[in-house]
Amino acid sequence: MDIEEKVNTIVAEKLGVDRAEVTPDAVFIDDLGADSLDLVELIMAMEEEFGFEIADEEAKKLRTVGDVINFIKARA
């Protein structure tokens, strides 16, 4: 699985949404029905999956699925 697929799978699983809804432009809070604690969980799951820490200041900027994918690609 590449990074994009991994991220999409985690997002769908954590937020309990259909895999088809998880597009790069999807905004976690507005489009995928996430609440602020969901975002915290999502970040924790990404940290676990990819094995590095995401600082709170950086995490705050990650609003869409695409934001997360790009961020992880840049770090990995």
Partner 1 sequence: MQSISQAALITGAARGIGRTIALALARPGLRIYINDVIPEDAARETVREVEAKGAPAAYLPFNVADPQEVEQAFGVIIKESGRLDVLVNNAGITRDQLLVRMKEEDWDQVLAVNLKGAFNCLKAAAKPMIKQRSGRIVNISSVVGLMGNAGQINYVASKAGLVGLTKSAARELASRNITVNAVAPGFIETAMTENLPEKTREAMLAQIPLNRFGKPEEVAQAVAFLVSDRAAYITGQVMHVNGGMLMA
Q: Which residue, 4 or 41, is less far from partner 1 as judged by CB?
A: 41
Give how many residues touch partner 1 by CB under 8 A. Answer: 5
| Catalytic option among 2, 25, 35, 38 | 35
Taking CB under 8 A as the rule, which mask of x and - marks residues 16-55 in contact with partner 1?
-------------------x-x--xx--x-----------
The DSSP secondary structure of the chain, one letter per residue, reads --HHHHHHHHHHHHHT--GGG--TT-BHHHHS---HHHHHHHHHHHHHHHTS---HHHHHT--BHHHHHHHHHHH-
Give me the residues that bind partner 1 (CB under 8 A), please.
35, 37, 40-41, 44
